[in-house]
Structure 1
Amino acid sequence: MNWQPNRQRDTSLQQQIVQWITALVERGDWVAGTKLPTQRQLAMQFGVNRSTVQQALEELKAIGLLESKVGSGVYVTHNSWHALIQQTQPNWQTYIETSIHKPNYHTIQLINEYEQREDVIRLGTGELAPSLLPTEAIEASLRELSFQPKALGYSSPQGNDHLRAAICDYVRKRGIVAEPQQVCIVSGALQALQLIAVGLLEQGSIVFQEPTSYLNSVHPFQSVGMQMVSIHRDEQLAQTLSQRKRKKQAVFYAIPTLHNPTGQVWTSLEKKQLYEACQASRIPIIEDDVYHELLFEATSPPIKAMDSSGQVLYIGSVSKTLSPGLRIGWLIGPTTVIERLADIKMQTDYGSSAISQEIVLHWLQSGKYESHLASLRQHLQDRAHFTEQILQGKFKDIATWSKPKGGFYIWLKFHEPLIDKEFFMKLLQQQVLINPGYIYDPQDHHHIRLSYAYATYDELQEGLQILHKCVVEALLQ
C-alpha cells in the first residue's frame, strides 16, 4: 500500500488513482465487499488533496466498481466484475445504435427468424418452394460444365463477359437494346439498389415510390440518408414530381410488372406516362423487373424498352425464377453509370460468384432457362388457383382480392383494420407466418401479402384455416 501517483506522468493524478484502484479489484486484492480506507487516509497515502481522492472515488462509483453505504464508508461492489467487463470491452450497443444502416422493423426481424424454422407455415414468403426449384437440373448442369481455371477466380468488375452478352440477347426479346458494357452482374436486385444508393445519389436525395412499396420493408436508401417520398400516379404526376423534386437529386423506384406486394401490372399507357413525367423533370427511373418472367399471360414491354436517353436503370434477376441461392442478377444502364457501380461493387465483394455466373450462362444459352420458366409458370398458376378456391370458400365475406396475374402473391384486403402487430403475433404463436401490410405501408392495417409460392398445398389449407379462425375471433371482439 505504499503506491503514490507519479506527478511527472501525462495522466492526471485523479486518473492514476482510478487506474490503481481498478487494478487492485481486477487482481482480486480488493474483493467484492472490501471496505476502502477513508478519503483522508487515502489522501495522506497518495500525497494529494482530499478533493482529488473524492473525484476519483466518484468516478469509480459512476462505473459501478464502488458504492457508498450511508454512515459506513465506501466498498467494492458485489457486481464489480460486471462493471470491469463493461469498462474493458467496447460498448458495442453504442456502435450499433449510432451506425448508419437502419435496423429492420421488429416484425421483419421476426419474419427473417421464423422463416428458418421447419415447423412454421410460411404464408408470406417471397421465394419458391424447394419443390419448385430445379435442383436435379442444376446438379446435372454442374456435371455438364467444364470450368476453366479463370472461372474459379475472381470475376471481372462488371461480371462474366459471356454472361453479360447472353443477358443482352435475352432482354432483347423484351425490346431492350443493350451492349455488354451497359450490364453489371449483381448479387440480386437488393444489391443493385444498394449500389445505386451509395454510388449515384447524394445524401438527402429524394426516392419517389408508390405509397405501398417493397422499399418500406428494406432500407437500402433510408440507411444512407435518402428522403423517401410516396406519391400516387395520377393525372398530376408530372406536376407533383416537379414540385417535390425542386433542386434536389431524385429517382423514381418502380415495379411495373407484378408489383411487390400488390401484384399489380401496369398498362403500356401507365408506363409511358411515368416515363414522360420523369423525363420532364430529368428524374431517373429504377425499374425493378424481377417478376416479369412469372406472368401467366404476356404483357407490354418494360419501361426500359422505350428508353432512348439512358434514363432508366433496369434490374433483372434469377432469384425469383431459378434459385435465390445463386445470387445472380443484373443491372442495365448507361456505360458511365455501370462502370461507376461496378467499381463500388468490386470494393465491397470483389464480384459475384464466378461459378454461379457460369451456371446462369449455361441455362440462358442452352434454352434450359426458358423451358424451366414455362413449367414454373404452370405450377404457380395451379397454386394460385388452389389458393383462390380456399379464399372463395372461407374469406369472400370478410375480405377482397384481385385474381393474381402471375408471380407469388395475392394482396388480400380485409374489410376491417385487423392486421396489427398483435394479430401478427397471435398467428405466429400458432406457427403461421404472414407478411402484414404495415411493413409495406405503416398506415396499412387491412392487408396481408399472401404467398402461394412456398407453402405446400396441405400447409396452404391449414394455414388459411388458422388465419380465417383468427380473423373471425378478431371481428367478434
Structure 2
Amino acid sequence: MGWQPNREVPTSLQQQIMDWMTDNIARGDWVVGTKLPTQRQLALQFGVNRSTVQQALEELKADGLLEAKVGSCVFVAENSWHVFVKQAQPNWQNYIEASLHKPNYHTIQLINEYEQRDDVIRLGTGELAPSLLPTAEIEASLQELSLQPTMLGYSSPQGSLSLRLAICEYVKKKGIQTAPQNVCIVSGALQALQLIAVGLLEQGSIVFQEETSYLNSVHPFQSVGMQMVPVVRDTHLHTTLKERKRKRQAIFYTVPTLNNPTGAVWSQTEREKLYDACKDLRIPIIEDDVYHELLFDDTTEPIKAMDESGQVLYIGSVSKTLSPGLRIGWVIGPSTVIERLADIKMQTDYGSSAISQEIVLHWLQTGKYEKHIESLRKTLQKRADYVVDLLKEKFAGIANWDQPKGGFYIWIKFHEPIVNKAFFMQLLQHLVLINPGFIYDPQDVHHVRLSYAYATLEDLKTGLEILYAIAIETIEHQ
C-alpha cells in the first residue's frame, strides 16, 4: 500500500483517505473480513496525523463499510457490499414519497394482498365468485365471433362505434336517452373517475360525496389535488352545497343505486332533490351506476334519466355483472366532455381492448347479457337470503343490518365500537378477510361491509362463525 494523499488538491486529506479505502473495498481488493493496519501504521504510511486517520475510519464505520472488533482492530464489514448497492441506486423512496399519487391505506394494501391467497375466506370482496362468472358462455362467444383485423389493433378514442350504439339502445331501458357521440368506452368505472379527475377538474376543486363513500378507499381525486367534502343529504342540502362551494369548481359523486359500501337505494324523491340542488348551483353530478342491473326489484331509474341539460356524467360497467377481467365500462355525458375524456384516455392507454369490446357487443346484441343478468340476480338473492339467515341466527344480539335490495353487500353495524385495525388484524390471523367500515369513513368503528357474492356458501358460514367469535371476544374485553 504505497499510496499517499495529495496535499496539492482542494479535497481534504481525510476525504482522500476515505475515498481511497472505499475504492479498495468496491474493487474487491479488500474483501469482507479484511483486517486493516493500525491507526498508527496508516498515519505513518499516509504521512498524516493519527487523528486524521481516526476520523476517516469513524466515518466509514458510520457508513457501514468498516466495523471495529475486539481491541482496536478494524475490518471490512460484512454488509459493505449491500451498502454499495444501496449507494449505487437512486433514492427511490424519496421519489415515491414526493410522487403525485397517494398510497393506499395500509389496510387496503393488506386487503389487496390477501385477496390473492386461496386459503383466505374473503367476506368483503367486491366481485363475483369465479363460479358465478359465465366462463363457458364467454368462451363459446369467442367461437361465434368473426375475428377481424381491426380487433387486433388499437381501439378508436371513444371506443367501438358498434358497442357505443349498443350501449345507447341498452340504457334506453333505464330511461336514458343518448347518442354514440355522448359515450366513451373506458377500462372500468375507476378509470372513468381518474379521467374525470385529470381531464375536467382544476386543482383545489371540491368533490362532494356522502360521509361513507367508496371514494375514501381509492384516491382518483385526492391524488390530483381535489378536496373531498362529505355532506349530509338532509333538508339543508342546497344551503350546505352553496356555502361549501362558494366560487370554487365542484362536482358531486354518488352511487344512488346499491351504494358501495352501504347497499342503500335512494328514493325517487332523493334523486330529484340532489339533481335539482346541483342543477341550480351548476354542480355536475357523477352517477356511478355499476350495480344497477343487480337490483332484486328493478323499479328505480338512474338520476341520468331525468337529465336534460348534460348535468350528469353517468358511469356504467360490466365488471360487476359479466366479468371484471374484460375491463369494459362507459361514461355517458355531453359530447365536449366525452371528447376530452377520450383524448386523455388515448394519452394513457391508447384505448380499451378491442377484443373485449367485441365480446361485450356480442352479449348485448344477442340478448345473452340480459339473460345472464336475470339468472345472476336470482342467484345473488339466494345468497343474500342465506347470509341474512346466518346473521339472524348469531348476530341479532350484537349487530343490526338492512335487508339487501340487490348487489353484493350487507352493511352490518355492531352495537359496540369494535371495528378497528386490531379487530381487522385479528380476523386476518384467522385467515378471514373483511372490509372494515373505517376504509370508507375514517371515523367509523362500527361497520363491516359483508359480501355474499364471492365466498362459497361453506366459507360464508365458516367466516361468519369466526367473525362472531372474535366480535364477542372483543366486546367482552372492552
Structure 1 residue aligned with 2:36: 35
Letter in 1 for 2:63: I
Q: Give the conservation status (yes or no) of the 8 Å contact 1:38–1:73.
A: no
Q: SS state of the match for residue 175, structure 2?
A: coil
Choose 66-75 or 250-259, whichever is displaced more. 66-75
Q: SS state of the match for residue 178, structure 2?
A: coil
Alpha carbons of structure 1 residues 8 and 304: separation in structure 2 relative to 1, 3 Å: farther
Q: Give the conservation status (yes or no) of the 8 Å contact 2:39–2:54.
A: no
Letter in 1 for 2:304: K
Structure 2 residue aligned with 1:159: 159
* Count of residue correspondences: 476
Choose 370-379 or 464-473, whichever is displaced more. 464-473
Q: SS state of the match for residue 413, structure 2?
A: strand
In the aligned structure 1, how far is the partner of 2:72 from the partner of 2:164? 78
In the aligned structure 2, how far is the partner of 1:368 from the partner of 1:186? 21
In the aligned structure 1, how far is the partner of 2:393 from the partner of 2:2? 87
Alignment RMSD: 2.7
> Within the alignment, does 1:189 sit opposite 2:189 as a pair?
yes
In the aligned structure 2, how far is the partner of 1:365 from the partner of 1:259? 28
Alpha carbons of structure 1 residues 120 and 68: separation in structure 2 relative to 1, 3 Å: closer
Deviations 1:368-392 (A, max 9, x none): 1011111111111111111111112
In the aligned structure 2, how far is the partner of 1:326 from the partner of 1:57? 60
Q: SS state of the match for residue 290, structure 1?
A: coil
> What pairs up with 1:69-468 in 2 under 5 angstroms?
72=72, 76-468=76-468
Letter in 2 for 1:34: K
Letter in 1 for 2:141: S
Alpha carbons of structure 1 residues 2 and 307: separation in structure 2 relative to 1, 3 Å: farther
Q: Give the conservation status (yes or no) of the 8 Å contact 1:39–1:54.
A: no
Structure 2 residue aligned with 1:23: 23
Alpha carbons of structure 1 residues 43 and 291: separation in structure 2 relative to 1, 3 Å: farther
Q: Give the conservation status (yes or no) of the 8 Å contact 1:64–1:79.
A: yes
Q: Give the conservation status (yes or no) of the 8 Å contact 2:39–2:53.
A: no
Alpha carbons of structure 1 residues 44 and 155: separation in structure 2 relative to 1, 3 Å: same
Alpha carbons of structure 1 residues 205 and 68: separation in structure 2 relative to 1, 3 Å: farther
Q: Give the conservation status (yes or no) of the 8 Å contact 2:289–2:316.
A: yes
Alpha carbons of structure 1 residues 42 and 354: separation in structure 2 relative to 1, 3 Å: farther
Deviations 1:39-89 (A, max 9, x none): 99669859x999998886666455322457899486543432222121112
Choose 432-441 or 23-32, whichever is displaced more. 23-32
Unaligned runs of 5+ in 2: none
In the aligned structure 1, how far is the partner of 2:191 from the partner of 2:15? 48
In the aligned structure 2, how far is the partner of 1:128 from the partner of 1:277? 35
Q: Give the conservation status (yes or no) of the 8 Å contact 1:187–1:328.
A: yes
Unaligned runs of 5+ in 1: none
Choose 206-215 or 429-438, whichever is displaced more. 429-438
Quote the sequence identity (%): 71
Deviations 1:408-448 (A, max 9, x none): 11111111111111211222222221111111111111111
Alpha carbons of structure 1 residues 354 and 72: separation in structure 2 relative to 1, 3 Å: same
Q: CA deviation at 1:92?
A: 2.5
Letter in 2 for 1:234: D
TM-score (norm 1): 0.92
In the aligned structure 2, how far is the partner of 1:106 from the partner of 1:438? 12
Q: Give the conservation status (yes or no) of the 8 Å contact 1:290–1:316.
A: yes
Q: SS state of the match for residue 141, structure 1?
A: helix
Choose 273-282 or 440-449, whichever is displaced more. 273-282
Letter in 2 for 1:177: Q
Q: Give the conservation status (yes or no) of the 8 Å contact 2:157–2:345.
A: yes
Q: Give the conservation status (yes or no) of the 8 Å contact 1:67–1:76.
A: yes
TM-score (norm 2): 0.92
Choose 72-81 or 24-33, whichever is displaced more. 72-81
Choose 6-15 or 273-282, whichever is displaced more. 6-15
Letter in 1 for 2:250: A
> What pairs up with 1:9-20 in 2 under 5 angstroms?
18-20=18-20
Choose 419-428 or 52-61, whichever is displaced more. 52-61
Q: Give the conservation status (yes or no) of the 8 Å contact 2:104–2:218.
A: yes
Choose 131-140 or 418-427, whichever is displaced more. 418-427
Q: CA deviation at 1:23?
A: 1.6
